Chains A and B, each alone.
Chain A
Amino acid sequence: MNACLKKMAAGLAALTLAGVLWLPCLHWLFARPVSTFYVKAGVSPAARALAARHLELWSDPQRRQQELDRMRVSNAEWDFMGRSYLVWSLANLGLRDPAMKPACLETMDRIIAETLQLEKEKGMTFFLMPYAKDRPYVVHSARSLFLDGEIALMLASRRVLEEKPEYQPLLTDRVNLIVQGWRRSPHLALESYPDECWTFDHVVALAALRTTDYLDGTDHSALIRDWVAMARKRLVDPKSGLLVSSYSVDGTPQIGPEGSSLWMIAHALQWADEDFARDQYNRTRRELGRTTLGFSYAREWPDSWKGPPDIDSGPIIPFFQISAGSSGMAFIGASAFGDDQFLDTLKATIDFAGFPSQKRGALKYCGSNQVGDAALLYAATLGPVWEKVKAGRKS
C-alpha cells in the first residue's frame, strides 16, 4: 500500500470513529427538560414564547396577512386551522395564567370575528382546498364539518375562558347543524369535502358537543356514545387497530390511519371516551412513534398501510419515513397523554430540525409555519379547558 492510500485509510478510519463518537452525543446539544415545553400548571417558557409571537402576529395585520398568504399558496385549510389551534391554545393559556387572560380574550375575539366574517363573505370554500367545488356534497348541502366542528370548538373554548353572551346563540346554531346532520346520516358521517368524511373533524365536533354540554347544560352524551360505538365498529383498521382517517358517507373507509390525523384524534377522543382515546394513543405511539439517537419523530403510515406523502404529511424523509406533519402533531398526543419521555425527545428533534428563531421573547420555528407553530402552542398549553369540562357542569 503506498503512502497516499495509507493516509486516506487512516483519515477515513478517524472520520468513521469520530462519527461513531459524535452522532450518539448530538442530541445532548438540543436536549432540554420537558418542563421547558409543557408544565401541568402555569405556563412553560416555550408556550410563553410561542404565544408571544402569535399575539404579536395578530396585532400586526400586514405581517399576519403575509404569513397567511404564504400558507394559502399551499393549502387554504392551514389558514383556518392556524386560527382554530390558536384560539384553543389561548383559552388554555388564559386559564393557566390569569395575567394573560385579557390579551388572550382580545385576540380570540378578533380571530373568531374575522373567521366568521370571511366564512360569511367568501363562503366555506374560502377555507377549503379547491376540490371542494368539484362535485356536490351528498348529505348536507354547502356545509363542511371541518369548519362547523372547529368553529364550534373555538366559540366554546372562548366561552370556557370567559362567558360572552353573543357567542351562545352562535354556538347553539353550529352545534344544532352538526347534530341534525348526524341524525340524518345513517352512519353518523358528515362530510368535510364532497363524500369525504374525516375522523379528525368528527372527534373535534364531539369535543365541541361535550364542551357545549358543560357550558349550556345540554346533553349530547347519547349521540357521542353512538358515534364512538360506530367508530369502533366501522372505522378501525383491522390490521393496526387504528382509526382510519377518512371515509365516505356510507361508512366505507377511504384513507387509512395517518399520523397527521391520529395524534389529534386520540387527544380529541378524550372528550368522548377516555379508554378508547388512550388505546388509540398507545397504538399510534407504537405504530408511528420512533426514536433514533435520542431524537424522536413520527411516521405518517403504519407498516400495514402503504400511502403516499400528501399535503397533510408534508414531505416524507425516506428510510426513516419521517413525516413533518405527523411529527408536529405527535406533540399534541404526547402532551395530552403525559408521555414525557416521548415529548422530551420530540422537543430535541424540533430544536434540531425545526430551525427555531427567537427574537425579543417571541419564538417561531422557521421549518414550520403559522399553523404548525399554533399546533405546537396548543400542545404546550392543552389541559385546563378539558379539565374544566371533565369536572362537570359550569356553575
Chain B
Amino acid sequence: MNLKLREAIRRLWRAELFSPAGFVQRALVISALFLLVHLAGLREYTSILNGTVGPDSAGWAGSAFLGMTYIILYLAFVILAPMLILAAGLLAVWQRLIRRKDRRVQTAKPPNPAPAR
C-alpha cells in the first residue's frame, strides 16, 4: 500500500503540465501554499485593500507584500484550483473517449488481405 501510494505521488510529481495529473498537482500545490499563508496569519494583512497597514509593525511595504501574497494565493485557491480540478476531470474524460474511439477503430479494421501471388 505504501509503495503504491509512493508511486502515485511520484507519478503525480512528475506529471506533465497539460495532463489531468499535472492539473491536479498544481491545484494541490496552490492549496498547500494557501494553507501555509493562512495558518501563518497573513489574512490580517489584507487590510491593505482599504489603505490600512497590517498589524504589528510591518509598515507599508511589509504589509503590502504580505497582503498581496495572501490575496494572490487566496484567489488562486478559490478560483484557479477548482478550475484545475474540473479541467483535470474534463481532460481525463476526453482522453478516455479518444482512447476508446481509437480502440474501436482498430478492432473494426478488416484483416490484411492475403498478398497477391
Residue numbers of A with Cβ under 8 A of B are 7-8, 10-12, 14-15, 17-19, 21-23, 26, 29, 66, 70-71, 73-75, 78, 311, 314-315, 324-325, 328, 352-353, 355, 357, 366-369, 372
Query: CB distance A314 to B79 under 8 Å?
Result: no
Chain B 16-67 residues near chain A, CB threshold 8 A: 16-19, 22-23, 43-47, 49-55
Majority secondary structure, A binding face: helix
CB-defined A-B contacts under 8 Å, sample of 29: A10-B91, A11-B17, A11-B18, A11-B23, A14-B90, A14-B94, A15-B83, A15-B84, A18-B82, A18-B86, A18-B90, A19-B83, A21-B86, A23-B79, A26-B79, A29-B78, A70-B55, A73-B53, A74-B51, A74-B52, A75-B51, A315-B51, A324-B49, A328-B50, A352-B78, A357-B44, A366-B43, A366-B44, A367-B50
Q: Which residues of B contact A357 (CB under 8 A)?
A: 43-44
CB < 8 Å neighbour of B90 from A17, A26, A74: A17
Instruction: Provide the bound-state CA to CA distance between A21 and B88, in Å.
Output: 13
Per the bound structure, the CA–CA distance linking A21 and B85 in Å amounts to: 12
Q: Does B12 contact A (CB under 8 A)?
A: no
Asked whether any CB of chain A lies closer than 8 Å to the CB of B87, the reply is yes
Number of CB contacts from chain A to chain B under 8 A: 92
Q: Which residues of B contact A75 (CB under 8 A)?
A: 51
Residue numbers in A under 8 Å from B49 (CB-CB)? 314-315, 324, 353, 367-368
A19 to B80, CA, bound (A): 8
CA distance A366 to B74 in the complex (A): 13
Given known A10-B18, A367-B46, contact A70–B90 (CB-CB < 8 A): no
Chain A residues whose CB sits within 8 angstroms of the CB of B88 once the complex forms: 14
Quick check: A366 and B18 within 8 Å, CB to CB? no
Contact with A along B69-97 (1 / 0, CB 8 A): 00000100011001110111011001100
Contact indicator B87/A15 (Cβ below 8 Å) = yes
Closest 6 CB pairs of A and B: A11-B18, A18-B86, A18-B87, A14-B87, A14-B91, A369-B52
**Separation in Å of the A363 CB from the closest CB of chain B?**
13
Residues in B neighbouring A314, C-beta threshold 8 A:
49-51
Q: Are A8 and B86 in contact (CB under 8 A)?
A: no
Whole-angstrom CA separation of A281 from B87 in the bound complex: 43
- For residue A200, give the distance in angstroms from its CB to the closest CB of chain B: 18
A366 cross-chain contacts in B, Cβ below 8 A: 43-47
CB pair A22 B79 closer than 8 Å: yes
For A30, the closest partner residue in chain B by CB is: B78
A328 to B49, CA, bound (A): 12
| A contact residues around B19 at 8 Å (CB) | 7, 11
CB < 8 Å neighbour of A355 from B46, B82, B83, B87: B46
